[in-house]
Amino acid sequence: MAAGPNHLLEQTLGPFQVFRLSSAPSICYSASGNLNAAGPRLLSDGPLGARKMTVLSQYELKVYTEDDLLPAEADEIFARQLVDSRKLLPPHHPDRDQWHFVLICAVTPAGHVLGGVHLDIGPIGGAGPIAKKSLAYLERTLVRPEYRRQGLATILLRRAVQEASAAGCEYIRCSNNWDNVSETALFRRCGFALVDLNGHQDEEPCYLAVRPVRNLEI
């Protein structure tokens, strides 16, 4: 059986070589498993005249932090999240130097960004015994519409969980809108627990989605 994207996501750290371009670690993928695969192809997504879906070919998972030069498309796609992540905390803030962001992008050899996941990483906060331990806040997961339904979001999110673990985080958390069925399925597929903490009181009713990335030691 030919290995498609959904097969590849189970082998993220298997046959694919992790390497570093500049300061960003990457994994190379192609929809066929062949790194010399042909360029994108279009498939019909539904009845005649419906939106077209571009079949994934070769791309790399690249991990960026605040010290890296981001692709222009990544800066555009994640503009709002990056503005917030790049804001310096007030000088008197006790956790000022403990926050940083991680951006995982799927990038083609031509530099086209297919999608990505943005994390803010910092202390859990509060006054409890794990207050100073690290937490990853999942700010945005996005795949361009023409590349959806091919397993890319799952690959990106699973890599984000790995990056959160490597950064020493105890768990990763985010919000998940009640009516976003595909996002709910994605979080469940990647091991998140959905908790309803008075979500109906939010402007956009949502769950709190949480996933441990390592054992808690209290």
Residues 84-134 pLDDT 10s: 998 876 777 777 778 999 999 999 999 999 999 999 999 988 888 888 889
The radius of gyration of the chain from alpha carbons, rounded to an integer in Å, stands at 18
Q: All domains of the chain, ordered by start, with CATH? A: 5-166 (3.40.630)
Q: What is the pLDDT of residue 88?
A: 72
Nearest-angstrom CA–CA distance, 112 and 118? 17
Nearest-angstrom CA–CA distance, 187 and 158? 10
Q: DSSP 3-state assignment of 136? A: strand
- Sequential pLDDT tens for the chain (218 residues): 333 333 333 333 333 333 333 344 445 555 433 333 444 555 444 554 455 778 887 999 999 999 899 999 999 999 999 999 988 767 777 777 789 999 999 999 999 999 999 999 999 888 888 888 899 999 999 999 999 999 999 999 999 999 999 999 989 999 888 888 999 999 999 999 988 766 677 777 888 899 998 754 44
Residues 188, 103, 18, 163: is their CA dihedral positive or negative? Answer: negative
What is the largest distance, in Å, between two alpha-carbon atoms of the chain? 60
Residue 217 burial (10 A CB sphere; 0-12, 13-18, 19+): exposed
Q: What is the pLDDT of residue 130?
A: 82
Phi, psi of 33 (to 5 degrees): 85, 0
